[in-house]
Amino acid sequence: MRFRILSRMIWNGSVAIHCWGSMIAIALNVTLLAITLQITRLPTTLMAFSNLRSRLQPFSTAQFIIPLFATLGLIGILHHDMWRDEMNTWLIVRDSASVGEMLGYVNYQGHPALWALLVASVQQVWHHPIAMQLLHWALGTGAIAIFWLHSPFSRWQKVLFTFGYIPFYEYFLISRPYVLGMLCLFLFCAVYPTRKRTYIWVAIALGLMANSHAFAAIISLAAAITLGLEWVLDAQHRSAYLAQAKRYDLWLSFVIIGGLYGFAFVILNPPIDSANVGGRDGWNLVWESRRFFRVLGRLLGAYTLIIPNSRRWLDLILCDIVGISMAVIMGMKLMRDRTSFLFFTLATGFLLSFFYLRFMGHGTRHYAFVYLILMAALWLAQDHFGPPWYSIKTIKILGRKFSLETAYSLLLSLILSVHLVGGLYRFTLDLSVPFSAARATAVYLQKSNLNDEFMVASPDTNMAALAGYLDRQLYYPELQGLGSFTIFQQGRRIAVNQRDILRQIRTLIPTIGTCRVVLVLVEPLETELPRLDIEPLAEFTDSWHRSERMYLYWVTPTRKARCPS
């Protein structure tokens, strides 16, 4: 009973936040920009503080920034209207009869199982989708806490990154497994120095990373190969490890990472009837020049959030040159440390290769891992001691020589600043523009006492959020039956148009014990059918995603005799 009361309180609170979203957005923009300026432009008087104060200052800043980040994130995530991709995992967990059945459905999703397992654990405590959002909020906050407490970046660089597009919006407010990839990557960076005496913590971090997200699994593999190359090529590191590590350490590390990698492979390997991104036959093994240049354009997209127009060769080539140049400058900076340079090169190369061979991605959430690879590589490079592996002091740009350190600092500042602007913009926009109309639709249906009506919703692939917020199954014409989540399985669904949907409703009405049906579509109804009366009920078009707009109709038979008694 307490959980129900708490659920209703938070639900009502989140709706109230939605109403005040525009005013909060304006205030939040001003506040965050002011905070950023205050932290990045410290008064010169601080330089006169004692050494003790200087040492404690980064920690005191973390004590301020982390709670601020968490508080703003809590406001944002409770306000955020989840869309189908977020709610799909919640529904898979909710409607699965066992863990085995749940893993079977996850096998079709193209993602590892760690996120679903965590969602299943919180669903045992609180059966409301907000529980999943709070889990996501905790994971995102944890990732930033690790970043602040363990990364070597300067304070202003940490501030710019923290409120950037990826950690402050895309991987914070939108509840998807991407946040696990970021968290596990930062965890790996934090425990990376411990490899000098034990590989167990590194093995755990890489194993969890492989089970967090498909792209993170690729990064994890690149990191594992990098560590293997370091073991082979760096005799000094190998000798130091063998002198300190316990006899069983290396073998136990192999068992841990092997077991976790094996589990990830089983889940990521699609079933034979999978229709997700082409299923098992969805590999692109032929040369396509435009696709190749589009993949290279993901470098610029990851670093600056700008994606070139793939229909124009000039845009592609120019943007690719800029993106590659940025990656080369960062690579030259990393060449001082062989291990971090190898990680940066392998991880970026593996991910871009996957984009070409399998799935290029449709948004920043996909290729943002290229940006995280850069930040992780710069983080790992700080663990390097001793003479540089390969040192470059100057570079030539447009015929002029520049200090590599200067070019690197300016470029990193540019990248972080662009992400900061993107993060503040999208975070505040999410407060004023609903990401999906599903929650507003669910609130309307519940307040109108229509939640128990027989509902027909189409297309099924767009209705997961509504099914989640209503906490029920809907009739999907594509499945010709009740359903909630989406599974990309060959032969699972049929293609239907609006007339097909109405025909199914006309056939259903005599069998479902009611004379009326609520029809939910993502586009206005533009057809009619004999012997059916159709009356518009409501429409909800305030949605960032056009495909998440909702149009509601009453559908009743014109021949009352056909209604069940």
| Residue 154 DSSP one-character state | -
Q: Are residues 257 and 286 in the same domain?
A: no
What local confidence, expressed as pLDDT, does residue 260 receive? Answer: 98
Cβ neighbours of residue 543 under 8 Å, at least 6 residues apart?
A: 81, 433, 434, 435, 436, 437, 549, 550
pLDDT of residue 468: 96
Please enumerate in sequence order all residues whose Cβ is within 8 A of that of 76, keeping only pairs 6 or more positions apart, or say none. Answer: 172, 173, 427, 430, 431
Domain boundary among 269, 287, 305: 269
Please give the Cα distance from 372 to 355 (Å, whole number).
16
Give burial (CB, 10 Å; 0-12/13-18/19+) of 407.
middle
Q: Is residue 416 part of a domain?
A: no
Tell me, yes or no, whether 376 and 456 share the same domain: no
In this structure, the answer to whether residues 449 and 551 fall within a common structural domain is yes
**Two tokens, residue 75:** 């406001």
3-class DSSP state for residue 187? helix
User: In terms of domains, do 384 and 453 share one?
Assistant: no
Assess whether 237 and 301 both reside in one domain: no
In the structure encoding, which two tokens stand for residue 176, read together? 């998807």
Position 38 in a domain: no
What are the phi and psi torsion angles at 274 (to 5°)?
A: -70, 140
183 and 226 share one domain: yes
Our CA dihedral for 526, 531, 537, 538, rounded to 10 degrees, sits at: -20
pLDDT at 61: 85
Distance CA 84, CA 81 (A): 10
Residue ranges making up the domain that contains 472: 438-562
Last residue of a domain, one of 207, 240, 269: 269
461 in any annotated domain: yes
pLDDT at res. 175: 97
Structure tokens at 385: 């001691």
**94, 472 contact by CB (below 8 A):** no
Alpha-carbon span 181 to 185, nearest angstrom: 6
Q: Quick check: helix, strand or coil at residue 550?
A: strand
Same domain, 292 and 374: yes
* Closest alpha carbon to 483 in 86, 82, 92, 83: 92
Whether 331 is in a domain gets the answer: yes
Distance, C-alpha 241 to centroid of its chain: 36
At which of 269, 288, 304 does a domain end?
269
Residues 246 and 353 occupy one common structural domain: no
What pLDDT does residue 389 have?
64
Identify whether 508 is part of a domain: yes
Residue 264 sits in the same domain as residue 282 = no
Q: Is residue 146 domain-resident?
A: no
Dihedral in degrees, nearest 10, Cα atoms 474, 480, 483, 485: -110
Strands 455-458 and 517-521: parallel
Task: Kindly state whether residue 56 falls inside one of the protein's structural domains.
Answer: no
Name 146's Cβ contacts closer than 8 Å, sequence gap at least 6.
Answer: 183, 186, 187, 190
287 and 243 in a common domain: no
Q: For residue 440, which of 163, 131, 79, 178 has the smallest C-alpha distance? A: 79
> Please, are residues 165 and 305 in contact by the beta-carbon 8 Å criterion?
yes
**Count of H helices and E strands in the chain?**
22, 8
Q: Quote the pTM value.
A: 0.88
Burial class of residue 463, CB neighbours in 10 A (0-12, 13-18, 19+): buried
- Dist. CA 522–CA 524, nearest whole Å: 7
How many domains is the chain built from? 3
CA atoms within 13 A on the CB side of 57: 15
The answer to whether position 132 is within a domain reads no
Residues in the chain: 565
Please give the structure tokens belonging to residue 548: 């998440």
Predicted pLDDT at 555: 95
Distance CA 441, CA 454 (A): 15
pLDDT in the model for residue 41 = 44
518 and 470 both lie in a single domain: yes
Nearest to 145 by CA among 63, 206, 205: 63
Q: Judge if 263 and 332 occupy the same domain.
A: no
Per residue of the chain (565 residues), give pLDDT as tens.
444 444 444 444 444 444 444 344 444 444 444 444 444 444 443 343 345 445 545 555 888 999 999 999 999 999 999 999 999 999 999 999 999 999 999 999 989 999 999 999 999 999 999 999 999 999 999 999 999 999 999 999 999 999 999 999 999 999 999 999 999 999 999 999 999 999 999 999 999 999 999 999 999 999 999 999 999 999 999 999 999 988 899 999 999 999 999 999 999 998 998 888 777 778 888 999 999 999 999 999 999 999 888 888 988 999 999 999 999 999 999 998 999 999 999 999 999 999 999 998 778 899 999 999 999 999 999 877 656 666 677 777 666 777 888 889 999 999 999 999 999 999 999 999 999 999 999 999 999 999 999 999 999 999 999 999 999 999 999 999 999 999 988 888 899 999 999 999 999 998 888 889 999 999 999 998 888 999 999 999 999 999 999 999 999 998 654 565 5
Please report the pLDDT score of residue 35 as a whole number: 44
Q: Which pairing describes strands 517-521 and 532-540: parallel, antiparallel, or unpaired?
A: unpaired
